[in-house]
Structure 1
Amino acid sequence: MHISLRAGEKIYINGAVLCADRKVSLELLNDATFLLEAHVMKVEDANTPLRQLYFIVQIMLMNPTDTATANEMFQNSIQRTIEVAENVTLLAGLKAVKNLVDTNRVFEALKAIRMLFPIEGKILAGGRVTSPTQAA
């Protein structure tokens, strides 16, 4: 996998933080868990239930040697969120995220959570989100 970084950009690989001092291209030759700086959420941005969930999963990805506490937080958070979710699409997405984390596919779980942000945004804004079965 080829990754290009700009000067000053960070990448998190298997728990290590790397910072490029100039424009650089990296080639990862084996399986590695990584997160680009652009996808890293700051703690102050974790201000909704899904963003908090994202932050927890992000911790699991960025610190793979110590995930027990983060996994416990994730399991509690996802369960509470599933219990209150009324939107069918959101509920299905949350269950998929739980399955991804439970099968140690943390990076895919982050992507799946990001895909749910627009649904959560509409719900929090008081807008009605139509599920695919309701739209038909």
Structure 2
Amino acid sequence: MPLSIDFKSGDKIIINGAVIENLGANVRLSVHNQAAILRGKEVLSAEDSNTPASRVYFALQCAYIFPQNQDEYVESSKKLLTEYLGACPSAQPIVDEIFENISNEEIYKSLKSAQKLIVHEGEILSKLGAELDGVAVE
């Protein structure tokens, strides 16, 4: 079944490593074969990968977009995941999910799981910030 993509004016999309920007009117695309596709909202720049979880996402994103270097990026993401888990054991279920997706060679699914890791990281940092605020008040 083809993948339908609404491609709005000004939006960017990556298809098999090529960045494509819609400079005209809104378009609806239909992709009929296997392709590595990331919509603009799913793309994380190197500059924006500035937290441990976002670095995991970025490495997996590169593994997905650049299959010729996939092994290198997957190994990097595994190392980052192991380090993350050492610092944040509560992320174990999400990390397990990412590792499972990687072992099943489902890199796009691992990206979706890495989004959960970013959310988890934000929640942990928010809790820590609230705790520190509570200590500072006392």
TM more than 0.5: yes
Provide the identity percentage. 26
SS for the counterpart of 1:45 is coil
Question: Hey, what does 1:4 align to over in structure 2?
Answer: 6
**How far apart are the structure 1 equivalents of 2:47 and 2:10?**
22
Question: Hey, what does 2:134 align to over in structure 1?
Answer: none
Query: 1:82 touches 1:95 (CA, 8 Å); kept in 2?
Result: no
Greater mean deviation of Cα atoms: 14-23 or 53-62: 14-23
Compute the displacement of 1:27 (Å): 0.3
Per the normalisation by structure 1, the TM-score is: 0.83
CA RMSD of aligned residues (A): 1.7
The structure where helix makes up a greater share of residues is 2
SS for the counterpart of 2:29 is strand
Structure 1 position 86 matched with structure 2 position 67: no
Return the match for 2:71 from 65, 68, 73: 68
Moved segments of 4+, more than 6 Å: none
Return the match for 2:42 from 39, 44, 53: 39
Question: Hey, what does 1:121 align to over in structure 2?
Answer: 122
Deviation string for 1:20-70 (max 9, x for gaps)? 222211101122221001111122221211111001111111212222321
**How far apart are the structure 2 equivalents of 1:67 and 1:120?**
25
Deviation string for 1:71-96 (max 9, x for gaps)? 22112111222233221xx2111111
- Residue segments in structure 2 that go unaligned for 5+ positions in a row: 131-138
Query: 1:12 touches 1:18 (CA, 8 Å); kept in 2?
Result: yes
- Residue segments in structure 1 that go unaligned for 5+ positions in a row: 129-136
Q: Which has the larger radius of gyration?
A: 2
Question: Hey, what does 2:20 align to over in structure 1?
Answer: 18
Matched residue count = 126
